[in-house]
């Protein structure tokens, strides 16, 4: 038997999910709770770390190939949690950089 993996998807919505939700109140809510996230350098985002603790639905959409992403949230609390997670990740990366010097 081949190896089978189960991946947690939590509240992450796919592009197909977003299409199915077109015209719903949920999409309107999510449009009110969007962020643009810009990557710096060659560092990849750890989306699992950044979305840790998010309770509602969210969607991550690549805007262009220059590491620009639009992140949609069902509610403002989750958007605030994402920002908090991003600050912690940034501080952690800075501390690691200083340690490696």
Percent of the chain with pLDDT over 90: 62
Q: Is the dihedral of CA 17, 18, 21, 24 positive or negative?
A: positive
Please give the model's pTM, rounded to 2 decimal places. Answer: 0.80
Q: What is the C-alpha to C-alpha distance for residues 15 and 13, in angstroms, rounded to an integer?
A: 7
Q: Which phi and psi angles does 60 have, rounded to 5°?
A: -115, 120
More confident residue, 39 or 2: 39
- Residue 21 has a pLDDT of 95
Q: What pLDDT band is residue 59 in, cutting at 50, 70 and 90?
A: very high
**Mean pLDDT on 89-95:** 77
pLDDT at 72 over 90: yes
């Amino acid at each position: 038997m081949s190896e089978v993996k189960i991946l947690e998807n939590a509240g992450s919505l796919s592009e197909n999910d977003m299409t199915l939700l077109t015209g719903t109140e949920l999409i309107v809510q999510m449009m009110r709770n969007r962020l643009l996230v810009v990557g710096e350098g060659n560092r990849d985002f750890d989306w699992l770390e950044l979305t840790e603790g998010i309770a509602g639905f969210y969607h991550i959409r690549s805007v262009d190939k220059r590491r620009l992403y639009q992140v949609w949230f069902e509610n403002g609390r989750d958007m605030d949690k994402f920002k908090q997670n991003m600050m912690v990740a940034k501080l952690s990366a800075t501390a690691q950089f200083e340690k490696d010097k």
